[in-house]
Structure 1
Amino acid sequence: MRERKKARTRDALIRSALELIAHKGYEGTTVDEIAAAADVSQRTFFRYFANKEEVALAVQNMVEAQFLAALRARPAGEPPLTALRNAALASWDGVGEAVTALVPIDLHVRVYRMIESTPQLLAAHLRRLAELEEGLAEEIGRREGLDVRTDPRPRILVAAFSGVMRVTGKVWGENLDGDMASLRRITSEYLDQIGPALAEEWSKYGGVDQKA
């Protein structure tokens, strides 16, 4: 029961933070306001989050952690890019439920856009992505029996994959009617374009509708 209560308090702080940030902006929102909206003290806030930045990025961090876990769960025989692609698509199923159980999807989309347009949040988000990419590269190296310190291929593959995922997120975030189903669809379509995008003769391949 104690763990459930802690989880409810943490979730309430995240919801309150995102609602305030979406309404007032990141700079215009204070830790005191977040704590008050969640009906807890400032001291309680700091038991769960180190600062305002951490709570603002909590949902994104959850999504990234689920993706890394999904990659680790992929069958050993899958080729590296296939494993990354399947992990991304598999993780969206659980991620969609986890996000919508925590905050309305439209609120998640609005905060996602705000992260992209707020220098402090964007810098923190990119730092987290760099850490995630290193974790993904190490996992690919482990799966393939490679040392990422001496073999650049896992990091190169993850860099290409992550670039596609960032484009996917940007396109989805710009869609006012975006939902988790459309994110999964766009992700699948864009990842399928990695091969054609690396081909020398683009005219042989069709494009992807960016409003998909």
Structure 2
Amino acid sequence: MQTLRERKKRRTRDALLRAAVELFTSRGYEATTVDAIAEAVDVSQRTFFRYFAGKEEAALGLVELTVERFVQAVRERPAHEPPLEALRQAVLDGWSSINEVVESVVPVELYLRMYRVIESTPVLLAAYLRRSTEVEETLAAVIAEREGLDVDADPRPRLAVAVFSGVMRVTERQWVAQEEGEFSLAGIRALTSRYLDQVGPALLGDWREA
């Protein structure tokens, strides 16, 4: 159980994160200053830096919440599931239950709009891709542990995660480019499922026969 002090710190961090996302999605990342975020919550710039290293970390804060949830979900998948199936089910279940993670901080609509800000802002996209590489290493270690393998001796965990991550990246880019009406949780979940289902045919099938 969290102490009163811990709850207050959590509320302050959530308020700063919510203000940052609201400003990033309305004004743009570059036009938003740390001072503006702090002012929106009525705290000092010093207080902001107690919780975030800078704007970049605040901009990726919501994504980090969902990434942590996803990695944990992979760890908890049934042991009998093959690696790619465990990854697939974890991400699909994650899209279905994302409200539980995000809604306590911001409306899901803002979370979705923040994805577009990340994709359209070079410095954020670079940071996002850098973080994704770190997550791939974590996932490879989780998969190796599930399968009883040495991640540094057997390439299969990293290969499986690389394939999965590649599909997810293509899915995200396609989803962000869609029209507003299709830009939804249901849309990203359906697209994720469809693209993951195409991995086998794409890698092993003869495209010229289609």
The TM-score normalised by the length of structure 2 is: 0.91
Query: Is residue 79 from structure 1 mapped to residue 82 from structure 2 by the alignment?
Result: yes
- Partners of 1:149 and 1:166 in 2: CA distance: 24
Q: RCO higher in 1 or 2 (8 Å CA, sep ≥ 6)?
A: 2
What letter is aligned with 2:190? R
Contact 1:137 1:155 in 2 (8 A): yes
Which residue is 1:51 aligned to?
Answer: 54
Displaced runs of 4 or more, over 4 A: none
Structure 1, unmatched stretches of 5+, are: 206-212
Structure 2, unmatched stretches of 5+, are: none
- Partners of 2:86 and 2:62 in 1: CA distance: 23
Alpha-carbon deviation of 1:204?
Answer: 5.6
What letter is aligned with 1:51? G
Distance 1:102 1:203, change over 3 A: farther
Secondary structure at 1:191 match in 2: helix
Contact 1:35 1:45 in 2 (8 A): yes
What letter is aligned with 2:37? I
Q: What root-mean-square deviation, in Å, do the aligned CA atoms of Structure 1 and Structure 2 show? A: 1.6
Greater mean alpha carbon deviation, residues 105-114 or residues 5-14: 105-114
Query: Is residue 128 from structure 1 mapped to residue 131 from structure 2 by the alignment?
Result: yes
1:89-123, Cα deviation, whole Å (9 max, x unpaired): 12223323322332233322222112112111111
Report the count of equivalent residues.
Answer: 205
Which residue is 1:150 aligned to?
Answer: 153
Secondary structure at 2:104 match in 1: helix
Which residue is 2:163 aligned to?
Answer: 160
Which residue is 2:197 aligned to?
Answer: 192
Greater mean alpha carbon deviation, residues 64-73 or residues 111-120: 111-120
Alpha-carbon deviation of 1:137?
Answer: 0.5
Which residue is 1:171 aligned to?
Answer: 174
- Partners of 2:96 and 2:6 in 1: CA distance: 25
Secondary structure at 2:30 match in 1: coil
Alpha-carbon deviation of 1:147?
Answer: 1.1
Query: Is residue 66 from structure 1 mapped to residue 54 from structure 2 by the alignment?
Result: no
The TM-score normalised by the length of structure 1 is: 0.90
Contact 1:96 1:180 in 2 (8 A): no
1:103-156, Cα deviation, whole Å (9 max, x unpaired): 233322222112112111111111110010000111111111111211111111
Identical positions, percent? 58
- Partners of 1:111 and 1:37 in 2: CA distance: 18
What letter is aligned with 1:181? A
Alpha-carbon deviation of 1:28?
Answer: 1.3
Which residue is 2:95 aligned to?
Answer: 92
